[in-house]
Structure 1
Amino acid sequence: MIQSRLSGSQTRLLVFALTLVGTALIATAPTPAGLSLQGQYAFATMFFAGVLWVTGVLPLAVTALCIPVLLTAFGVYADLDAALTGFADHLIFLFIAGFMLANALQKYDIDRRIALWLMSRLGTSPRRLVGSVMIGTAFLSMWVSNTATAAMMTPIALGVLTQVVGNEGLEAAAASADDVDADIAADGAGAVAADAADTGEFSNLQVSMLLGTAYAASVGGVGTLIGTPPNAILASQLNELLGYEIGFAQWLAIGVPIVVITLPLVWYLLTYHLYPPQITNVEAAREQATEYLENEGSLSARGRRVAVIFAVTAGLWVLGGLGDLISPGLSDSVAVTLFGGDGASVFGPEGHQGLLYYVMVGMAAIPALVLSDTMEWDELVDIDWGTILLFGGGIALADALASTGATGWLADTVFSSLTSAPIVLVVGITVLLVIFLTEMTSNTATSAIIVPLLIGVGGGFAATLGLSEIAAAVFLATSGAIAASFAFALPVATPPNAIVFGSGYLKQEQMMRAGIALNVVMTAVLTGLIWLLFKFVWPAILW
């Protein structure tokens, strides 16, 4: 055991040392024609961060904190203050607010109640039972992080499954996991899960429900701007690099159609072709879900206040994106005050962000939770600060690549041969590349690396798309960010995949069989769907 730990530590140090060597080689190599020295240093920093993010040698957030240090050390930025500005990006505070709202929903089990209600109402057959779990998971994942949603839904799904398939298969896997040395379990949950899974035969219903839970959490996160880290990375970097802002309502018009179309398709393939349930009667499962829901009792007064605050916040997020429709019926000053603009607001000064700007709405929800006596500060700050820091490091790196001309040079050098290719081919290559990369590492790390590059090269396709350079960059980068949530084959690809695999009730080969098939299908579906949205929906909402 000790030797294994030492070996792991030595491997980590070796990979880190090789990363430093590679970074130094890139930084000291002859500067290519057309690329500035600062741009070369930005690429060296990208190599450093990319390798560490992909290999997981350091936690993602720790690597992100290294980025401003390295950029300042190379002289890409003259001082550290400039390198740290990405960590104060306003969209980061939107996600802080979203995480805190999610904590409030979880404290009062509002998310759990929604999921159980759907299962008790919709789970009238084995396939519908799986579908109800997937619908509940996807809906919650739009508002609560997909990681937290999968962590909450997995034990619910397992509890309901015991009423259908019995305890034998589940207990066999659990017993194997319990027999493993505690130290090994602490150091390698994935290995424990794999070992446990090997001892049990799992029914198709069990496999389809667990995989459906993971896949629905990933797909559902695409629906809203706060649903998954790739969405946040895209929005923050578009704002930082292009000065372009995707509003909350705008993203709904992009994300919701993708969820509505792809989620039923995933469910259909899982339950009709890949792992069709072999059990006919699931009435006991519905009764179990109903019993769970009854055990929750009625929602407390504080819980109802949280539900109201959340509903109002979500409603204002949507309303704030409808300024073009509502403003003509308002006076100029009121329209500027509510939706933002350059004119005079009701407060007098000219120029206003807008009270309904979605970041301001999200931040206002936090004092509302405190004033309503529903959340304490210690409960609010118990959020995923590592992801927040990752956003900041990604923004700092993307800004350095853009400000030094590195992404523009990359676009001219590497992607110029594709600029005249059919747009469907370009989207297909982008989707396939991102899904493949995401299978090798987390979707968050993939997005942090690939999104700024897609923003940089997107302008080169402006003529092909018949769009401005900014619109073309938005289109290509958005395609990549969406694809990052559709890697289904390996546990490492997304946190929901890792969570259901880590439960110990699923074999890796079962995930790979379903995931590879779905990756192939979704590459084709997303390519066509993104192209259709681009042709008929995006022109009205994105530019």
Structure 2
Amino acid sequence: MSVVGAVIKKVWCIKKYIILVATPLILSPILFTLPPQEGKCLYVVLLMALYWCTEALPLAVTALLPIILFPFMGILPSSKVCPQYFLDTNFLFLSGLIMAAAIEEWNLHRRIALKVLMLVGVQPSRLILGMMITTAFLSMWLSNTASTAMMLPIANAILKSLFGEKFCEDKGMKSNEASSVNLENGLHPVPTEVQFLTVNEEDKDLPEKTDVNIEVHPDLIKERQYQNNIWKAFLISIPYSASIGGTATLTGTAPNLILLGQLKSFFPGCDVVNFGSWFIFAFPLMILFLILGWLWISLLHGAIRLSCKRRKKSDIRSDAEAKARDIIQEDYRKLGPTNFAEKAVFFFFCLFALLLFTRDPKFIPGWASAFTPGFTSDAVTGITIVIILFFFPSKKPSLKWWFDLKAPNIENKPLLSWKKAQETVPWNIILLLGGGFAMAKGCEVSGLSTWIGGRLQPLEGLPPALAVLLVTILIASFTEFASNTATIIVFLPVLSELAIRLKVNPLYLMIPGTVGCSYAFMLPVSTPPNSIAFATGHLLVKDMAKTGFMMNLMGVLLLSLAMNTWASSIFQLGTFPDWVPIHYHNVTALASNIQNLTTGG
């Protein structure tokens, strides 16, 4: 048995190499059983999908495979593959990332977070709401990972002030090895139910503590359970709201931009999806989801119910809440008065959002109408603003400096340096986006999208509303185990063909598929924010699964509601659009006829 175990461990150590070698061999029959071009493209798509799901290679490296495989396999020439990695959609995303870097450089995001928490109050339920609102807002502009990483230490400090020190000392957790690791990470230990029982058993051997434990045992246990539940509620609410907030803007998360890029590839005439129209659709959905999510998390973990019941016994808790309020205010004071750089970054951030909203809002002429039609895009707007960040001074210019010969001649630093941008911007996401666009182009040119559409005939009788529901459930389930970016890259071509088969607007299925892949709440591996929260050591998988299942269900139902109500008018979903190329209307029928002639003749 030990030999078998040793072999299994060795195999596990080289599992990535096994996947790298075995996957192409296992998929090779596809090359010989399907039509040549479609088979080759499907081979590449499945190979990349499996590499992405297993992370046999880094995600960004897998995204580079089309540059090698498409030319060698005769699917697309290199001159058509490489430009897909730097479409204007990539530059729109890059501009959002650089703007986020400037916000982080001058701590503007922290100032916003603390200000919101000062406004909402310090009762646990209100603090959870404040955390969720702040994290969601930041995630609209920063990455959801960065938003989560920034908010967790703030939550930790607040929780310590509410009941942290007492919670730690009473349980004798300071010498615990796991707690030491958590403290190194700036996180306060939260005992599990098992640890409660263990400590209680150990306390029986300590005479000096026995009398105290017997005297206050019932109330103490209830208080500890309450504290433990509130702690979990805080930790769970932050990554969940980060994922929800990222859906509200086109630049908030990579799948939204992948949708935009693939629309331009499949349907070049589609101009109804831009920054403004997406925000009008997604922002109300985000607000509804945040409110329902807050109610669910607060009720499940007792933040609302218990805080109402215990108002009579509020002396200790009032003191704790006062301390929490003092800590938030103290952290805010430590930031000092708002300096010129923060004001400048905030101004350019607002200008960035305003220009994106007003470029082409559809319901009124935007500022883009002053230029040649088709010459401006959201990428032009974004890059224009972020370039200014690299030369705009971080200190207020002074005329006195020119006339004071004794004044120090120190070069004024810009709001953002290129070194900071290099360190902060996750460049691998740009390559990942490019890989998705290259894959979409290959599916289009090789005819794989049309071939997949021909295999979807059994779904033609499906009611469109039911199709939206099923698509969202499928993708939300799939993305629990795989990267949401990789998931949407694989599914979007299929969804566009399915929509055409159902004779509905392609956006009717592609939009819920895109948003649904951000609704992954049940497992720690579902999203980086979930992993960060789980890594604190205070959450169990069952905690996330129990809370996340209802979150997934609410997200699916809310998304279905949105697609069949206000999204219908925003994206004109009620009619089959003119921007779908003519050949899409008849291509499946032609393919079927050709197949019948070749097989029956």
Task: Give the TM-score normalised by structure 2.
Answer: 0.78
Deviation, 1:197, is 10
Partner of 1:252: 279
Deviation, 1:227, is 0.4
Partner of 2:353: 314
AA aligned to 1:418 is L
Partner of 1:489: 522
Matches of 2:114 and 2:528 in 1, distance apart?
22
Partner of 1:216: 241
Matches of 2:64 and 2:507 in 1, distance apart?
27
**1:129-148 to 2 correspondences below 5 Å:** 129-148=127-146
Partner of 2:228: 203
Quick check: 1:369 aligned with 2:389?
A: yes
**Structure 2: runs of 5+ lacking an equivalent:** 1-5, 197-224, 311-316, 393-413, 578-601
Change in Cα spacing, 1:92 to 1:169, as seen in structure 2 (3 Å) is farther
Deviation, 1:179, is 5.7
Matches of 1:50 and 1:117 in 2, distance apart?
43
Matches of 2:101 and 2:193 in 1, distance apart?
32
Partner of 2:489: 448
**Structure 1: runs of 5+ lacking an equivalent:** 187-192, 328-333, 342-351, 466-471
Quick check: 1:285 aligned with 2:324?
A: yes
**Aligned-partner SS, 2:475:** helix
**Aligned-partner SS, 1:223:** coil
Partner of 1:360: 380
- CA shift digits 1:198-226 (9 cap, x unpaired): 85876111111111101100000110000
Matches of 1:134 and 1:457 in 2, distance apart?
36
Change in Cα spacing, 1:399 to 1:122, as seen in structure 2 (3 Å) is same
Partner of 2:151: 153
**Aligned-partner SS, 1:457:** helix
AA aligned to 2:433 is F
**1:76-115 to 2 correspondences below 5 Å:** 76-77=75-76, 79-115=77-113
Matches of 1:247 and 1:429 in 2, distance apart?
26
Contact 1:123/1:131 (<8 A) preserved: no
- CA shift digits 1:439-483 (9 cap, x unpaired): 111212211221222123222122xx4xxxxxx212211110010
Matches of 1:292 and 1:4 in 2, distance apart?
51
Quick check: 1:73 aligned with 2:112?
A: no
Partner of 1:404: 446
Change in Cα spacing, 1:353 to 1:63, as seen in structure 2 (3 Å) is same
**1:492-531 to 2 correspondences below 5 Å:** 492-531=525-564
Matches of 2:100 and 2:554 in 1, distance apart?
32
Deviation, 1:285, is 2.2
Quick check: 1:30 aligned with 2:33?
A: yes
Change in Cα spacing, 1:116 to 1:198, as seen in structure 2 (3 Å) is farther
More moved, 213-222 vs 166-175: 166-175
Change in Cα spacing, 1:494 to 1:269, as seen in structure 2 (3 Å) is same
Change in Cα spacing, 1:490 to 1:239, as seen in structure 2 (3 Å) is same
Deviation, 1:94, is 0.7
Matches of 1:194 and 1:75 in 2, distance apart?
57
Change in Cα spacing, 1:179 to 1:114, as seen in structure 2 (3 Å) is closer
Contact 1:177/1:196 (<8 A) preserved: no
Partner of 1:12: 16
Deviation, 1:300, is 2.1
Contact 1:442/1:495 (<8 A) preserved: no
Change in Cα spacing, 1:364 to 1:535, as seen in structure 2 (3 Å) is closer
Matches of 2:462 and 2:26 in 1, distance apart?
33
- CA shift digits 1:343-379 (9 cap, x unpaired): xxxxxxxxx513xx32111001222001211111111
Matches of 1:206 and 1:438 in 2, distance apart?
27
Contact 1:68/1:83 (<8 A) preserved: yes
Matches of 2:176 and 2:117 in 1, distance apart?
28
AA aligned to 1:10 is I
**Aligned-partner SS, 1:486:** coil
Deviation, 1:86, is 1.1
AA aligned to 2:416 is M
Matches of 1:275 and 1:389 in 2, distance apart?
44
**1:421-440 to 2 correspondences below 5 Å:** 421-440=462-481
Matches of 1:167 and 1:497 in 2, distance apart?
26
Change in Cα spacing, 1:104 to 1:425, as seen in structure 2 (3 Å) is same
Deviation, 1:54, is 0.8
Contact 1:198/1:507 (<8 A) preserved: no
Contact 2:359/2:368 (<8 A) preserved: no
Deviation, 1:533, is 2.9
More moved, 314-323 vs 520-529: 520-529
**Aligned-partner SS, 1:252:** helix
- CA shift digits 1:289-308 (9 cap, x unpaired): 12111111122212221111
AA aligned to 1:73 is F
Partner of 2:426: 384
Quick check: 1:233 aligned with 2:258?
A: yes
Contact 1:408/1:457 (<8 A) preserved: no
- CA shift digits 1:7-27 (9 cap, x unpaired): 544111112222111232222
AA aligned to 1:23 is L
Matches of 1:387 and 1:483 in 2, distance apart?
19
Deviation, 1:530, is 2.1
**Aligned-partner SS, 2:502:** helix
- CA shift digits 1:23-49 (9 cap, x unpaired): 32222x322xxxx41111110001100
Matches of 1:109 and 1:320 in 2, distance apart?
29
Contact 1:120/1:287 (<8 A) preserved: no
Quick check: 1:325 aligned with 2:364?
A: yes
AA aligned to 1:479 is P
Change in Cα spacing, 1:253 to 1:481, as seen in structure 2 (3 Å) is same
More moved, 202-211 vs 472-481: 202-211
**Aligned-partner SS, 2:14:** helix
**Aligned-partner SS, 1:398:** helix
Contact 1:231/1:482 (<8 A) preserved: yes
Matches of 2:168 and 2:491 in 1, distance apart?
40
Flag the structure with larger Rg: 2
**1:164-203 to 2 correspondences below 5 Å:** 164-167=162-165, 172=173, 175-177=176-178, 203=228
Matches of 1:168 and 1:419 in 2, distance apart?
62
AA aligned to 1:25 is P
Deviation, 1:322, is 2.6
Change in Cα spacing, 1:57 to 1:100, as seen in structure 2 (3 Å) is same
Contact 2:487/2:517 (<8 A) preserved: yes
Contact 1:176/1:195 (<8 A) preserved: no
